[in-house]
Amino acid sequence: MMSMIGRRLAVGVFVIWGVTTLMFVLIRVAPGDPATTLLGPDATPEQIEALTERLGLSGNIVEQYLAYLRQLATLDFGDSFRTGQPAIALVSSRLPETLQLTLGATVIAAAVGLTLSLLAARRPDGAIDRVVSTISILFQGMPTFWVGIMLILIFALVLRVTPSSGAGTPAHLILPAITLALPFTAIIARISRATLTEAMREPYVQTARAKGLSRGEALRNHAFRNAMGPVVTIVGLQVGALVGGAVVVENVFAWPGLGTLIVDSVASRDYTVVQAAVFVIALFVLALNLVADIVNALLDPRIRVEANA
């Protein structure tokens, strides 16, 4: 298992390098520049040139990139163009909110998705299975921003049972977490239903039934654990999509996390903050992928033994 973790870490370093480099280039290629944006329409060319110089953006992109890499090597992300605070400090102040949101969504998606799949897999192609698969298609097909707006309309404005936006109390988390969880719930329900149904056809499930276990007991006590490996893998791979969804959801609900920070920083061409935020998100996604792999290995004693050897 240790060698697996080592391999993953090496790959992870490359992925983070690739992702941050891409971001570095894209944000500079996009139209608009920080000095003009910061100074506003009345600034003179001299003022703009001076600010560009001060922000370290006067050289060509290769020079800038080399300077950026030198800084990155010491984990220095530079200061925010807008506020002058260290970019990483801004990012870390927003990170807990995003963690809360993605964690909340993951818990909801896992609980609801797995429950739905257990109900469905008891009788594949039965009535419950069909209802669950319809729900999954709906959940997965609805655009996130639209779901967010509908939930705000229904629960915050009409029923007035939840706040419509912002953060602060647990109640604030409910709508954004549900919005973010829906497509993820559908994915978990679908994959888990498929692997559970397959596991239910395995001879060891017949053995369990031959011992007098009911369909549901065989499903929970024997099929479930063996069916979870692929589910955990897919969930790990979907974490990237989840974080992507979080950016949208945070902006719909004015949730003060990394997503809103990134959108604001892109709009104001605050390059350093965007770079720091993307770096942290990439790190977060990779860490969760690694966790998924470890959980997967722990689930299957056959892998566990091989990996120990």
Partner 1 sequence: MTDKLALSVRDLVVSTDADAPVRILDGVSLDVRSGRTTALIGESGSGKSILGSAVMGLLPDTMSAQGEIVFDDRQVLGIPERQRRALRGRWVAMIFQDPLAALNPSQRIGRQVGELLRRGGLRGKALEEGVVRLLARVGVPRPEERAHAFPHQLSGGLRQRAVIAMALSGGPRLLIADEPTTALDVTVQKRILDLLAEMQRDDGIAILFISHDLRVVSHIADDLVVLYAGRVAESGPARSVLSKPLHPYTRALARSVPSVSAASAVSDPIPGTAASPAARPSGCAFHPRCPLAREICRRETPQPREVVPGRVSACHFAEEFLDD
Q: Please give the residue ranges that form the binding site for partner 1 (CB under 8 A).
A: 123, 202-204, 206-214, 221-222, 225-226, 299-302, 305
Q: Considering beta carbons, is residue 229 or 240 the nearer one to partner 1?
A: 229
| Sign for the pseudo-dihedral over CA of 261, 266, 270, 274 | positive
Q: Considering beta carbons, is residue 59 or 216 the nearer one to partner 1?
A: 216
Please state, in angstroms and rounded to a whole number, the distance separating the CA atoms of residues 192 and 307.
25
The distance of closest approach from Cβ of residue 253 to partner 1 in the complex, given in angstroms and rounded to an integer, is 40
Long-range contacts of 40-46 (CB under 8 A, 24+ apart): none
The distance of closest approach from Cβ of residue 207 to partner 1 in the complex, given in angstroms and rounded to an integer, is 5
The SS3 call for residue 258 is: helix
Q: Considering beta carbons, is residue 92 or 214 the nearer one to partner 1?
A: 214
Q: What is the DSSP letter of 161?
A: -
Q: Considering beta carbons, is residue 89 or 194 the nearer one to partner 1?
A: 194
The distance of closest approach from Cβ of residue 302 to partner 1 in the complex, given in angstroms and rounded to an integer, is 5
Q: Considering beta carbons, is residue 18 or 216 the nearer one to partner 1?
A: 216
The distance of closest approach from Cβ of residue 210 to partner 1 in the complex, given in angstroms and rounded to an integer, is 4
The distance of closest approach from Cβ of residue 305 to partner 1 in the complex, given in angstroms and rounded to an integer, is 8
Q: Considering beta carbons, is residue 85 or 221 the nearer one to partner 1?
A: 221
The distance of closest approach from Cβ of residue 113 to partner 1 in the complex, given in angstroms and rounded to an integer, is 21
Please state, in angstroms and rounded to a whole number, the distance separating the CA atoms of residues 26 and 269.
12
Q: Phi/psi at 163 (nearest 5 deg)?
A: -65, 155
Q: Considering beta carbons, is residue 19 or 299 the nearer one to partner 1?
A: 299
The distance of closest approach from Cβ of residue 128 to partner 1 in the complex, given in angstroms and rounded to an integer, is 14
Q: Which residue has the tokens 């909110």?
A: 97
Task: Say if residues 142 and 151 touch (Cβ distance below 8 Å).
Answer: no
The distance of closest approach from Cβ of residue 107 to partner 1 in the complex, given in angstroms and rounded to an integer, is 24
Please state, in angstroms and rounded to a whole number, the distance separating the CA atoms of residues 69 and 76.
9
Q: Which residue has the tokens 């992300």?
A: 77
Query: What's the burial of 226, exposed, middle or buried (CB within 10 Å: 0-12/13-18/19+)?
Result: middle
Please state, in angstroms and rounded to a whole number, the distance separating the CA atoms of residues 143 and 141.
6
Q: Considering beta carbons, is residue 83 or 206 the nearer one to partner 1?
A: 206
Q: How far is CA 182 from CA 107, 147, 158, 293, in A?
A: 11, 9, 21, 24
Please state, in angstroms and rounded to a whole number, the distance separating the CA atoms of residues 217 and 209.
9
Please state, in angstroms and rounded to a whole number, the distance separating the CA atoms of residues 182 and 201.
29
